[in-house]
Each structure stands twice: as structure tokens, then as C-alpha cells.
Amino acid sequence: MTELFMLIAAKYNYCLYVILMMIGLYAMIAKNNLMKKLVGMNIFQTAIILFYVSIGFKHNATIPIIKGDHGHGGHGAAIHAADYMNPLPHVLMLTAIVVSVATLGVAMALCVKVYQRYQTLEEDELRMRLSEKIKS
Amino acid sequence: MKLLSLIVVCLTGGLLLYGTADLPDWGDPNTPASLHLSKYYIENAIRDTEVPNLVTAVLADYRSIDTMLETAVVFCAGLACFMLLRDFTPKKDHYYRHVPSGVILHVKNPDRQIIAGNEFEDMDKEWLPPDTIIKTVCRMLIPFIQIYALYVVAHGDFSPGGGFQGGVILGSSFILLAISYNLKYLLKRVSEKFLGILSAAGVLVYMGIGLAAMVLGGNFLDYEKYAPIFGEHHIRALGMLGVEIGVGMSVTAVMVIIYINIVSEGKHDEGL
């Protein structure tokens, strides 16, 4: 039992992302309202982003900005990779955040368009209206 | 249906939790993710690019083509919002407010478009005078937000920041203007045409910097080739700054385009 607790304590960050991801996934699958589905999608994306950023974290390391006077072409003290956090997940997630904003904007525009035509964002009502349209 | 989805979600979560047992501990410096490529970036980026902010160095130099297409994605999102929502059908009823006296004119079915002048202001039916406190506070805040945004864009090479972040801050200052006054006031200051041109110009600045490097005899986005024009000193940082400005322009314009089209359903009236 203590081993299990030790395992969770060492990797508690992953548990948090899995919980966030489950919330987002549940909202995307089970919710009836399209806007709520979008909120779920954003929670899901946030979970992924946090997961990536936490991979880049190192103990006793600082943000990935080189300290000191290296910028002026000087070769002062050697730079050790263990002193700086991993910049690669940060870069990847910077672009992922931008994509998430873009997808959110387009999805909301589509929701506005759907609402203009059918006066509802509830999925079952939309399906009903669409089947009526096909019959008539 | 809800029960079924709950079971599916719990199964997925259980599988993922089971999988985390093999993942490295939190904050371990010797994980596979930080031993290969990122080690090279941390140790050599300053020698290769002379830019202390590694995130910017990787974003705008090592992975610059990725970022260019990212900017194109942002531009496409703004374009999609515009195409989906923009509604050019003219309104039937027009309302004008005489600014000095506050008298409201209601014009039904005008034969042609009336353009409001200095005395008269174009307005909507559901118009409320903006709150004085909100207006004053926002008027004082917005210039500082914009200065900060420009700082974040310009200083992205040496401190946390960059084109995406600065562009979002600048765009949000415009959105604050639209919220605290109204949408028409914003569109009088920053016209829709200007926003459209700005969003495309940002992508073109980025691609132009890449193509000009090719014209000067290097690879696409090879900033070193600008050295004969701008001097050797910090030439890569300068190239990255140009690229970040392009990104910032595009992101700013697209943020505002998405906002103005969604809140007013493409009609560009009062909005929220």
C-alpha cells in the first residue's frame, strides 16, 4: 500500500492531467449542448498542454533563458543542460495554445451559424430538426 | 448514454493512469525528453543564434518554418470566422443620435446609405450610454496595456515574450476598448479593412523575410544572409525580431477579427 502511495506521490502530476482529461472527454461525449462540448474540448487541450509543460520541468533548474553575458559572443562559463528547463515542450505548447485559440474561434463561429439557422444548440433537437428537413 | 460515456471515460482514464507508472518521475533531469534534442538546444543555442531566450530561439530559428505555418493557421482561423459570419445585408431601420443634445433620430427604409457626420452618431436600437467609471478606467488602462504588448513583442529575444504573446495582449487591449465603449467605436478607430490587411501582412512579413534570405543567396529563413546589410552583430536576433513582429501583427488582427465577428454575429453593430 505504501508503495502505491509513493508511486502516486512521485507522479501526482500525471494523475491530475488524467483527471482533467477525463473531465474534458466526458463533457465532449456526454453533454448535449454544443457550447458545453466546446468547453470540454478546451479542458482536454489544457490537460495536454499541462502534461507537456510538466515533462519539461527539472528540479533545481531555472526558466530556459540563459543567464549572464553569453549574448555578446563571449564564451564564459559552460552551460549545463541540467541548469535550464527543457525549452522544447514550451515551444510545442506555445504553438498548441495558438491552434487551440484558432479552433475555438472557428468552432464558436460555427455554433453561431448553427444557432442562427435552427435556434438551438442542443444536439437532440438539432438532430430532430435535421430529420424533419430530410423527410419534407 | 450518460452511463455508457462515463464507463468509456473511466476506462480511458484507468488505462492512462496505468500507463503513467512507466513515465519518469516529476522533475527528473535525466528523462529521455531532456537528454537528446533539448540538451543540444540548451548548450548550443547561444553559440548558434546569440539569443538568450531559448524558447524564442527554438521557435523562431530552429523551428521557424513550423512557426510560419502556425501563423498561417491563425490567419486561416480569422479568415474562416469572417467567411462564416460576416453579414453584409443592410439594416432596414437606422438610428442616429445627435451628440450634443442627445436627440435620437429614427430613419425608416432610407433610399441610400446615410453616413453619420461629426454631429450625428450611427447607433443601434438597444443602445445604452457607456458607464463613466468603466470608460475612464479603460481609457487610462488601454495605452499601458498596448505599450506592454509592444514591449513583450520587441523584447521576446531576451526575456519571456514573443510575437504570439504580445499579439494576444495587443488584441485584448482592442477587445477591452470594444467592451468598455462599444463595437462601433472600436471599428471607427480600427477599421475592418485595416484588420484584414494587417492579418495578411503579418504572414507576408514572415514569408518575405524567408524569401529575401533566399534572394540573398541562403536557405529559406536563413537570417545569417542579412549580415551584409545590417551588420554581423546579433543578426539572428534581428531576424527573429522581424519574424516576431510579423507574428504579432497577424495574431493581433485575428484576435480582434474573431471577437468582432462572433459578438455581433457578423453584423458589426453594438455587439455585446
Domain span at A56:
2-64+82-135
Q: Is residue B46 part of a domain?
A: no
Q: Per the CB < 8 Å rule, is B54 touching A116?
A: no
Task: Kindly report the CATH number assigned to the domain that includes residue A131.
Answer: 1.10.287.3510
Angle at B167 between CA A68 and CA B269, to 5 degrees: 160
Measure in Å the smallest separation between the Cα of B180 and chain A Cα atoms.
21
Q: What's the Cα-to-Cα distance from B118 to each of A20, B99, B144, rounded to whole Å?
A: 53, 8, 28
Domain span at B100:
93-129
| pLDDT value at residue B114 | 66
Q: CA B11, CA B54: separation in Å to the nearest integer?
A: 39
- Name the residue among A22, A26, A57 with its Cβ closest to that of B26: A57
Interface of B with A in 11-30 (CB under 8 A): 12-13, 16-17, 20-21, 23, 25-29
Q: Is residue B26 part of a domain?
A: no
Q: Which long-range contacts (CB under 8 A, 24 or more apart) does B115-119 make?
A: none
Instruction: For residues B203 and B251, state if they share a domain.
Output: yes
* A39-53, A66-80, A89-103, B14-28, range with the lowest pLDDT: A66-80
| Chain A residue with minimum CA distance to B157 | A65
Q: Per the CB < 8 Å rule, is A26 touching B5?
A: yes
Residue A2, classified by CB atoms within 10 Å of its CB into exposed (0-12), middle (13-18) or buried (19+), is exposed
Q: Is B164 near chain A, with CB under 8 Å?
A: yes
Of A100, A102, A103, give the one whose Cα is nearest residue A50: A100
pLDDT at A48 over 80: yes
Cβ atoms B64, B211 nearer than 8 A:
no
pLDDT above 90 as % of chain B:
44
Q: Which residues pair with A65 in a beta bridge?
A: B53
Where does the pLDDT of residue A110 fall: very low under 50, low under 70, confident under 90, or very high at 90 and above?
very high
Find chain B residues with C-beta within 8 A of A112's C-beta: 84-85, 262, 265-266
Q: How many domains does chain B have?
A: 2
Instruction: For residues B162 and B98, state if they share a domain.
Output: no
pLDDT at B156 over 60: yes
Over residues A68-77, the mean pLDDT reads 55
Most A CBs within 10 A among B1, B26, B165, hence the mutation to make, goes to B26
| pLDDT value at residue B73 | 93
Where does the pLDDT of residue A71 fall: very low under 50, low under 70, confident under 90, or very high at 90 and above?
very low
Instruction: For residues B244 and B120, state if they share a domain.
Output: no
Retrieve residue B258's grid coordinates.
Answer: 474573431
Q: Is residue B14 part of a domain?
A: no
| pLDDT value at residue B50 | 85
Instruction: For residues B101 and B69, state if they share a domain.
Output: no
Instruction: For residues B107 and B76, state if they share a domain.
Output: no
pLDDT at B131 over 70: yes
Q: Longest C-alpha distance within chain B, in Å?
A: 74
- Name the residue among B21, B41, B258 with its Cβ closest to that of A7: B21
**pTM value?**
0.88
Where does the pLDDT of residue A75 fall: very low under 50, low under 70, confident under 90, or very high at 90 and above?
low
Residue B70 belongs to what H/E stretch? Answer: helix B64-85
Of B65, B74, B54, give the one whose Cα is nearest residue A90: B54
Place of cell 470608460: B135
Interface of B with A in 172-211 (CB under 8 A): none
Instruction: For residues B101 and B220, state if they share a domain.
Output: no
Q: Which residue has the higher pLDDT, B144 or B115?
A: B144
Cβ atoms B184, B231 nearer than 8 A:
no
pLDDT above 70 as % of chain B:
95
Of A107, A56, A102, A49, give the one whose Cα is nearest residue A82: A56
Where does the pLDDT of residue B158 fall: very low under 50, low under 70, confident under 90, or very high at 90 and above?
confident
Where does the pLDDT of residue A99 fall: very low under 50, low under 70, confident under 90, or very high at 90 and above?
confident
- How far does Cα A69 stand from its chain's mean position? 35
Q: Is B1 near chain A, with CB under 8 Å?
A: yes
